[in-house]
Structure 1
Amino acid sequence: MTTAQETRRPAPASPPRLAEFQHATTTPLALSGIVGALAFAVYSVFSWLQWQSFTIRSWDLGIFTQLAKDYANLRPPIVSLKGEGYNLLGDHFHPLLVLLAPFYRLFPNAYTLLVVQNMLLAVSVVVVCHFAIKRLGKITGVCLGVAYALSWGMQSAIDAQFHEIAFAVPLLAFSLVALLEERWRSAWIWASLLVFVKEDLGLTVFVIGLVMAWRARTAAGLWLSAWGVGWFILTTKVILPAMNPGDKWAYQSQLNIAGLLSDPASLFHPDKVTTVLLLIAITAGLCLFSPLTLIVLPTLAWRFLSELPVYWGQEWQYSAVLMPVVFCAAIDALSRRKVLNSTRLRLLMGTTMMLLAVVLSSQYALGKLADPAKHFPTHTVASSQSALAAVPDGVTVETDISLMSYLVDRTEVYWIGNQNPAPQYVLIDVSGRPGLSPTAAATEAEARFPGTRFVTVYADGRYQVAQRQ
C-alpha cells in the first residue's frame, strides 16, 4: 500500500551527465562566439581606418559595389567599370553574390561590402573555433581559434577589401567541420555551394569529394566530386564564354601548363615556396598529418601555373580559402593521431600556433594597427572630400581607382583605362605627376573624346575634376 509521504516524493533530479552535456554544448559556442566577435571587431576597425583614410587597394571594391547595386535593384550585374554593358557573370562565375542585395539595399554604400566580408570571415572563425574547442578542449581550442582569426590569409583578404571569396571561406569551414564530424549530408550541401562562388572552386569541391569518399566509404563523395568537376567544365566552357564579350573564359590563358613543362624549376620560385612554407608554419606543421590538406592543391595549382607573380605570394585575397583547410587539417591531426593524443602536447601546439599568428601579424595587414597614423594617413582626406563634392549625384564619371569606390553608389562610374562613352565628369588623381597643369584632366579628356569640351571645376595638388560642357 502506498503512503501519502511516498506519493509526495519529489521527482528525481536530472542525471549529472545530462547537466554536464548541456553545459558542454553551450560553453564551446559561447567561447567561440566571443572569439568570432573579437575577430569581427578587429577586422572592422582595420576596414574603417582604410575607408576613412581613402585607402583603396584596387578597383575590385568598386566593381563588386556596382554588382551589389544592380542586384539590390533587381537588375543583372552590368558593371560599367569593366566596360560599357559588361556583364560581370562573364568575368567570374559568382551567382551566390546575389546575397549581397539585401545588405546593400539597406545600406547603399561600398563600405557595406567590407562589413559583410568581415562578418562572413568572422562566422568562419566561430565555426573553426567551436569545432576546435569541442575536439581539443577550451584553452587549446580558443588558441587555435585566435590563430585562425589572425592567420595571414585572412589578414590579406581583409587588406585587399571585398572579393567573392568572402562567401567561400565560411562555406569551406562549415563543410570541412561537418566532414570531420561525419555529418556527410551537411558536408555535401555546404561544399556543393562553393561552385556558385567562383569557377575554380569546382576543382576544390572535386578534392573535397575524394576526401569524403575515402573517409565515409560511400559513393556520396564521388558524386560530390562529379558535381564539382561538372560545374567547373560547364562554367569555363559554356557559361563564362557565353557571357564574356570576348566569347571565352577570360582567365584560361593564365593556366600556363606548357610554361611549367618547359621550365619545371619555375615551380620553386621563392614566392611560391614561401607561400607553401607559411601554410605549413601557421599550423606548426600539423596540417601535414591530415589528408584534408590535399584540398589546398587545386587553388595552389592554378595560382602557381599562372605567369602573374601577384598570384604566387601571400598578398591579396587568394590564400583566404586555404585557411579553413589547413586549420581544420591541424585540428583533425591533433584529435586523431595517437602520437599527439596528450593534453599537454595539444596545449603546447595550440599556443604555438597562436603565438606564430601573433608574430606574423606584424608583417601583414593587422600589424598596421600598431601605428594607424603612419599606415592610414588622413592628410589627404580634405582634398578627397572636396574632389568628391565637385561631382554631383546621378552623373556619369570616368576616373582612376583613387576615388571610384566612393563614387559608385551615387553615379555611373567608368574606369579611365577602358574605351568608354564620353562621361559628364572626369576625376583623376594627379599626385604622382608633379608640375602638371591645373587643366590637364580637361585637356586629356578632350583628347580621349574628340569633339567634346571639358572645363576644370576642381583642382589641387592631388585631384582634378573636369566637367563636359
Structure 2
Amino acid sequence: MPARPDPAPSDPAPVGAPPIDTAPGPPAPRRRTAVALARRVRALAPAWGLPTAVGALVAALCTVYSLAQWDAFVVKSWDLGIFTQLAARYAHLEAPVVHVKGPDYHLLGDHFHPLLVLLGPVYAAFPSALTLLVVQNVLLGVAAAVVTRAAVPLLGQVVGGLVGLAFGLSWGLQYAVEAQFHEIAFAVPLLAVALAAVLRERWRTAVVAGALLVLVKEDLGLTTAVLGLLVAWRARRASYLWLSAWGVGAFVLATRVVLPALNPAGEWAYGSRLDVLAALSDPLALYAPAKAYTLWLLVVVTGGIALRSPFVLVAGPTLAWRFLSAEPGYWAPTWHYSAVLMPIAYLAMLDGIDRARRGRVGWLRRYARYAPAVGLTATLVLLPQWPLWQLTNPGLHFAAPRADAARATLAAVPDGVVVETDVGLMSYLVDRTDVYYLGNRNPVPDYLVIDRVGGGTPQEWGDVLQVARLLHPDATFEVVHVQDGYEVARAVG
C-alpha cells in the first residue's frame, strides 16, 4: 500500500519574523459558554427523561378529558368565559375588562392575578376557550414532571415515576380539570418548583418560584410568607426571610390597595367571606364532614408520612381561608380549590420519607420504606371516584345527545355581535362575540341565548321572550331559533 504523500509545505515565514504559535489557545468566551451549555443539557437529559414522559402523559390524559367535555358541550364554566375574555384583552394589549363578570368590569378588581398576562400571546395564536383548557393541562403536566424529578433520586425510577404519576392524577388536580380553567393553574407548577428546590437545597430557585406566587392570586401571598419561613429555616439563613416579607406585603397591597381601587364596589370582594372572629367564637361550628374528608384525602394519598415534614405548613393559609369561611363550597375536595394543595402534599411526602430515613425513630424509618406503596394503593383504590375515570365510559358521560342542536344554535348567532347568555353555550360564543352574562345588569344585547336544560337560567323565568321582557322591558325581541332546549332571540329595531 503506497504511503500517503506529505502535505505540501507552507510558504516560509519571512526572515526575522517571530515564530508562529501553532498551539491551540483557549476557546473564545462564547464557545466556552456554548460548550458548557451543551454539556449541561446532555447531563440533564437522562435525569429528565422519565419526568418528561410522566408530565406528557398527565397533560395528554387531562387534555383528552377536556376535549371530551368540549365535544359533548358540557363545558359550562362561567369562569372559563371570564378568563377567555381576559386572555382576549391581553392578546390585544388591552386592560382586562371582562363583560362576563359585569359591564366594564376590570378583572384585576376581582382577584389579583397579573401573571395571567402570559395567556395573551398564547390566545393570540390560538383564539379559543379550549386553548385555556389545554394551557391548564400543560401546566399540570409540568408540575407532574417536577414532582417526578424530585421523587426519582429518593425512591428510584419505578416508584418515583409512579409517585409522579399519582400526583398528576391526584384528586385535587382532577377536580380542577373538571371545573375547567382557573388562575391557580399557574400556582401548581410554581409551588412544585419551589418545594422541590427546597428539598434539593436550591434556595435561589425556591425563592424565585415562591416570589412569583403572589402574582397568581392575592391569598397566595400568605402562602409565600410561610414558604419564606421554611426556606430561611432549612437554609439556616435569616436573609431569606425577605421572601416572607414580600409575601405579606404583596397580600396587603393587593387586598388593601389594588383590588379596592379596581373593584366597582371599592372593596376586596372576597374579604367578607372570611370572618375569623365569628368562626373562632364557636369552635364546634368549625367541624364539618366535608372538611374532614378533604383532610383525610390529603393524608391518605401520601401514606400519612407527609405529616412528618414541615412542608405541610405551607398548606396552612389555603386550608385556613377555606375552612374558616362560611361558604360550604370551599370545604369539600371538589372544584379547583385543592389543586394548590397537591404539590405541597406530595413534596411533603418526599421530604417526610427523607427525614424519616435519617431519623432516630426506628419504626418510622421502617415505615418510610412502605409509605409510597400505601399512598399509591390509596390513590388506585380511590381513582374510580374521581373525574378522569369518566373516560372509561365515554358513552355514559360524554354522549352529547344535544350536540347537533348546540351547533345549530351557535350557527344562528353571527360573529361580532353583542350576546347576553347563560353558561350553557357561553364558552363557545365568547371567542367570536362580545358576551355578557345574563345574571348581571347589562345593556340591551343584539342576541339573547339561553339553555333551558342546563344553562342555569331559572325555570320560572320562562322562555327566551319572557326572559327578554324580564331583563329588558323597554326592548323588543323576536325568536330566531329554538331546538332541544336552546333558544335564541334577536333584538328588533
TM score, norm. by length of structure 1: 0.91
Residue 177 (structure 1) shift: 0.8
- Letter aligned with residue 111 of structure 1: L
2:490 paired with 1:467: yes
SS of 1:360's equivalent in the other structure is: helix
Residue equivalent to 2:108: 89
User: How does 1:33-44 map onto structure 2 within 5 Å?
Assistant: 33-44=52-63
Residue equivalent to 1:127: 146
Distance 1:130 1:147 in 2: 13
Contact persistence 2:309–2:355 (CA under 8 A): no
- Correspondent of 1:455 among 470, 478, 489: 478
Contact persistence 2:54–2:165 (CA under 8 A): yes
Contact persistence 1:132–1:331 (CA under 8 A): yes
Residue equivalent to 1:299: 318
SS of 2:385's equivalent in the other structure is: coil
User: How does 1:290-329 map onto structure 2 within 5 Å?
Assistant: 290-329=309-348
Distance 2:401 2:287 in 1: 42
The 1:230–1:438 alpha-carbon spacing in structure 2 relative to 1, beyond 3 Å, is closer
Residue 462 (structure 1) shift: 1.1
- Letter aligned with residue 432 of structure 2: R
Contact persistence 2:77–2:427 (CA under 8 A): no
Identity %: 50
User: How does 1:325-364 map onto structure 2 within 5 Å?
Assistant: 325-338=344-357, 348-364=370-386
Residue equivalent to 2:299: 280
Contact persistence 2:108–2:114 (CA under 8 A): yes
User: How does 1:59-458 map onto structure 2 within 5 Å?
Assistant: 59-338=78-357, 348-431=370-453, 440-458=463-481
Contact persistence 2:76–2:427 (CA under 8 A): no
- Letter aligned with residue 140 of structure 1: V
Output one character per residue of 1:240-295: Cα deviation in whole Å (capped at 9) or x when no partner: 00000000000001112132123211222110111111101110101100000111
Output one character per residue of 1:29-57: Cα deviation in whole Å (capped at 9) or x when no partner: 11111111111111111000011111124
The 1:450–1:188 alpha-carbon spacing in structure 2 relative to 1, beyond 3 Å, is same
- Letter aligned with residue 465 of structure 1: V
Distance 1:351 1:406 in 2: 43
Moved more, 263-272 or 299-308: 263-272
Contact persistence 2:356–2:368 (CA under 8 A): no
Contact persistence 1:428–1:465 (CA under 8 A): yes
The 1:390–1:32 alpha-carbon spacing in structure 2 relative to 1, beyond 3 Å, is same
Residue 217 (structure 1) shift: 1.2
- Letter aligned with residue 207 of structure 1: V
SS of 1:466's equivalent in the other structure is: strand
Moved more, 138-147 or 187-196: 138-147
| Structure (1 or 2) with the larger CA radius of gyration | 2
TM score, norm. by length of structure 2: 0.87
- Letter aligned with residue 228 of structure 2: G
The 1:361–1:437 alpha-carbon spacing in structure 2 relative to 1, beyond 3 Å, is closer
- Letter aligned with residue 237 of structure 1: R
Contact persistence 1:143–1:350 (CA under 8 A): no
Contact persistence 1:427–1:465 (CA under 8 A): yes
Distance 1:344 1:286 in 2: 12
Residue 340 (structure 1) shift: 8.2
Query: Number of aligned pairs?
Result: 448
SS of 1:428's equivalent in the other structure is: strand
Contact persistence 2:356–2:365 (CA under 8 A): no
SS of 2:378's equivalent in the other structure is: helix
Distance 1:394 1:103 in 2: 21
The 1:438–1:292 alpha-carbon spacing in structure 2 relative to 1, beyond 3 Å, is closer
Contact persistence 1:79–1:88 (CA under 8 A): yes
SS of 2:52's equivalent in the other structure is: helix
Distance 1:149 1:439 in 2: 43
The 1:67–1:353 alpha-carbon spacing in structure 2 relative to 1, beyond 3 Å, is same
Distance 1:289 1:427 in 2: 53
Distance 2:296 2:447 in 1: 48
Contact persistence 1:209–1:221 (CA under 8 A): yes
Distance 1:168 1:232 in 2: 15
Moved more, 115-124 or 450-459: 450-459
Residue 219 (structure 1) shift: 1.8
Residue 138 (structure 1) shift: 1.0
Q: For the aligned residues, what is the CA RMSD?
A: 2.3
Contact persistence 1:398–1:426 (CA under 8 A): yes
Contact persistence 2:109–2:264 (CA under 8 A): yes
- Letter aligned with residue 176 of structure 1: L
Give the unaligned 5+ runs of structure 1. 1-20
- Letter aligned with residue 376 of structure 1: F
Output one character per residue of 1:6-25: Cα deviation in whole Å (capped at 9) or x when no partner: xxxxxxxxxxxxxxx99985
Output one character per residue of 1:224-252: Cα deviation in whole Å (capped at 9) or x when no partner: 00000000000000000000000000000
Distance 1:311 1:373 in 2: 31
Residue 27 (structure 1) shift: 3.1
- Letter aligned with residue 77 of structure 1: P
SS of 2:247's equivalent in the other structure is: helix
- Letter aligned with residue 328 of structure 1: L
Residue 221 (structure 1) shift: 2.7
Distance 2:453 2:161 in 1: 46
Residue equivalent to 2:30: none
Give the unaligned 5+ runs of structure 2. 1-39
Distance 1:399 1:100 in 2: 24
